[in-house]
Amino acid sequence: MPSPQDDLRLRRIDPAQVQQESEGLADLYTKAHASTPGGEYLSREGFLRRLTDDAQRPGFDLLVATEPLHGLVFGVRLGTDGSWWQGFDGRLPRAVERLSLAGQVFAITALVVDPYARERGLAELLHERVLADNRSRLGATLVEQDDHATSAAFLAGGWEVIGEIRRTPDQAVLQVLVLALSEQPRTLSRRT
């Protein structure tokens, strides 16, 4: 029996192609968030700014599911300086800190799936593929504390909340979610 993902093709978009592909990617983002209330973080302009900024960072990777465009995931391999964790509330779990210092963490900064393709497990396919392709041992992402739907989707995909980050006093509180891969223990809670 064919998989519901059989008609999808996964394709990488390199940083040099981001500008020419950005409007189509933003269209998908807007469609996926059409019914989600939110401020600047969920705006088309905010998405395009994050995409453009991330595409200029070392370790950027963007993967799309096409035929037609059904989803995308992008992010960056985190540097070993620990700056991505700035504003973390409390002590970072030891396993997360160790993997960060070793350059083994890939941060997903956007994961977008067409509302009509969500039932197909596409979000999990995209995040698993981008993390595997980047040989990461840990995936990390930030989700606005009030964005229950996105948080629930990541949790359903095996991600775990390890804490919160507030980078600036006027910024919303962001949940920090991680996904352990390969030899890592399945749980990376604050208790480790």
Read off the pLDDT of residues 126-158 as tens digits, 9 standing for 90 and up: 888 999 999 899 999 999 888 888 888 899 889
The pLDDT score that the predictor gives to residue 7 is 62
The pLDDT score that the predictor gives to residue 22 is 92
- End-to-end Cα, the chain, rounded Å: 42
Residue 175: count other Cβ atoms within 10 Å of its Cβ: 21
Residue pair 107/84 in contact (Cβ under 8 Å)? The answer is yes
18-32 and 44-55 are packed helices; what angle lies between their axes, rounded to 10 degrees? 140
Note the helical H segments in 83-157: 94-101, 122-133, 148-156
The pLDDT score that the predictor gives to residue 53 is 95
Q: Residue 2: is its pLDDT beyond 50?
A: no
State what percent of residues in the chain have pLDDT above 70.
Answer: 84
Domains assigned to the chain: 9-180 (3.40.630.30)
DSSP assigned state of 121: T
Residue pair 101/136 in contact (Cβ under 8 Å)? The answer is no
Q: Residue 159: is its pLDDT beyond 70?
A: yes
Q: Residue 70: is its pLDDT beyond 80?
A: yes
Confidence of residue 174 (pLDDT cuts 50, 70, 90): very high
- How far apart CA 74 and CA 110 sit, in angstroms, is 5
Residue pair 106/78 in contact (Cβ under 8 Å)? The answer is yes
pTM score of the predicted model: 0.83
User: What 3-state DSSP class applies to 35?
Assistant: coil
**Which of 111, 89, 60 shows the shortest CA–CA distance to 167?**
89
